[in-house]
Structure 1
Amino acid sequence: MKSITINGSKRESVGKGATKALRNAGKVPCVVYGGDDTIHFSAEGNDFNSLVYTPDVHTVVIALEDGTNINAVLQDIQFHPVTDEILHIDFYQIFDDKPVTMEIPVRVVGNARGVRNGGVLRIIMRTLRVKGLPGNLPDFIEVDITEMKIGHKKYVTSVASDDFTILHTDNTVICQVRTSRTAIVDEEEEEDEDAEGEEGAEGEESGAEGGEETAEAPAES
């Protein structure tokens, strides 16, 4: 998984006045949980753009002025209700030998057969919550929809991996191809239906011929 480095400075004071002064200076107050100690720090607001304003997911290396590097993941973020300015960020410290839970983006690839026939692709889960060792977590989870026909669904079981555990029930749908007014029947399905229709017609003809022979048979006296 890709990593982003954030250069930060430890906060000596965490009161409202100090926090307001940081924000006025264009900095974001942050806190890191999960380690031996809770660490309060601040960083330039622009440094978080590539972490927050992206569909991708990253781990973070928090590089403090005293030379300490902390590996972490973004846990929670607070925005201003009007300006959308970042007000506060919570991080969770991670370790190579301890599983971590993260939201991993879903990436759909391929052109579904059902969509080519006029169906509509509906993506239900754009991220999946998974748990695993940091080194085993992917940048994204790929879902191949090429063979999906109209009415087909992709469940989380189709992207299961030994590297991580998906924290959703097995019947959770990632995406599906739904019918529409412009949808047409798949060519293979048409062939199957034609074959079944021919077999049925032959059966009806045989039955009709048998009925005529019975009707023409002379009655015994």
Structure 2
Amino acid sequence: MANDVLNVQTRITERKSDLSTARRNGIIPGIYYTVGKEPISLNVNERELMAIIASGNVIIDMKVDDTDSQKIIIKDMQIHPVTDKIVHVDLMGIRMDKEIEISIPIHFEGVPEGVKLGGLQQSILRELLLKGLPADIPEVINLEIEQLDIGDSIHVHEINIPKVTIVTEAELAIVSVVTPKIVEEEVVEEELEGVEGEEGEEAVEGEGEGEGKEGEGEAKAPEDAGDTPSHKK
């Protein structure tokens, strides 16, 4: 995989006001850590970082204060909830002969057959957590989905990446093709209408039977009146 170079500077201040000023000037506060060394606070150029993220490269060559470059990965980023801008970044040093764990994005290739027939694609997972040597970990996971029909899914355990272990739970679905919700609702409505129609017919039949019984009662009323016993004097 190709490497990009990220030039960073050591950061001395930790005051919130200074950090806010730096962000307004296109500098993102960050921290660099690696095994056996103390963490280093850094200033990271926002434009350079965004260009590296856009390139999709996993392994990055980082230079601190113009010193020799070292291999790193972006371990974590904090995003502002309103502006969606990066407000802090964690950079982790790596060795090419040591395994790492890192989340790699999934790229879906093609249009599912089920979508062409009116189904909807549900992309459930956007990345997978992988473990392996840095040189063996892909920059992106390309997943072909053209073969998916309505009702089909692809799960994590169906993915195979040579020399790499997939840490993400094996039984999780990555992508599915489902029946559109509006179609499901129409089917339910038709079923409900059928039930209501049956209930209405039963109600009408019940009323008819009730009226018939009432009529019989009214017809017998005069006979009951004639049976009133006479009083002896």
State if a TM-score over 0.5 links the two structures. Answer: yes
Q: Deviations over 1:7-61 (max 9, x none)?
A: 11223x2431654564455322221112332222223222212234x49353221
1:137 paired residue number: 137
Superposed displacement of residue 2, structure 1: 3.7
2:132 aligned partner, one-letter code: G
Q: TM-score, normalised by structure 2?
A: 0.67
Q: CA deviation at 1:115?
A: 2.0
Q: How does 1:149-168 map to 2 (within 5 A)?
A: 149-168=149-168
**Which is further off, 123-132 or 26-35?**
26-35
Q: Which has the larger radius of gyration?
A: 2
Is the 1:121–1:175 Cα contact (8 Å) retained in structure 2? Answer: yes
- Identity of counterpart residues, as a percentage? 26
Answer whether contact 1:104 1:139 (CA < 8 A) is retained: yes
What 5-or-longer segments of structure 1 have no aligned partner?
Answer: 183-221
Per the alignment, do residues 10 and 103 of structure 1 end up closer, same or farther by CA in structure 2, a change over 3 Å counting? same
The 2-side partners of 1:83 and 1:113 are apart by 37
Which portions of structure 1, spanning 4 or more consecutive aligned residues, are displaced by more than 3 angstroms?
17-26, 54-57, 79-86
Residues 109-134 of structure 1: per-residue CA shift (max 9 Å, x gap): 13322222222221111111111111
CA 1:99–1:117 in structure 2 vs 1: closer, same or farther (change >3 Å)? same
Contact 1:105 1:128 in 2 (8 A): yes
Work out whether residues 100 and 134 of structure 1, in 8 Å CA contact, stay in contact via their aligned partners in 2. yes
Q: What SS does the aligned partner of 2:31 have?
A: strand
> C-alpha distance in 2, partners of 1:110/1:51?
26
Measure the CA separation in 2 of the matches of 1:80 and 1:121: 29
Q: TM-score, normalised by structure 1?
A: 0.71
Q: Distance in 1 between matches of 2:112 and 2:24?
A: 50
Cα displacement string for residues 104-158 of structure 1 (whole angstroms, at most 9, x for unaligned residues): 1111113322222222221111111111111001121121122222211111122
Aligned to 2:127: 127
**How many residues are treated as equivalent by the alignment?**
180
Q: Which has the higher helix share?
A: 2
Structure 2, unaligned runs of 5 or more: 185-233
Cα RMSD (Å) of the superposition? 2.5
The aligned counterpart of 2:75 is 75
